[in-house]
Structure 1
Amino acid sequence: MAARAQEAAAAVREADRDLLVAAAWLHDIGYAVPRHRALIVCAPPTTPSAP
Structure 2
Amino acid sequence: MLASSPGKTPISLLQEYGTRIGRTPGYDLLKAEGQAHQPNFTFRVTVGDVSCT
TM-score (ref. length: structure 1): 0.29
Q: Which has the higher strand share?
A: 2
Q: Which structure: larger Rg?
A: 1
Q: Which has the higher helix share?
A: 1
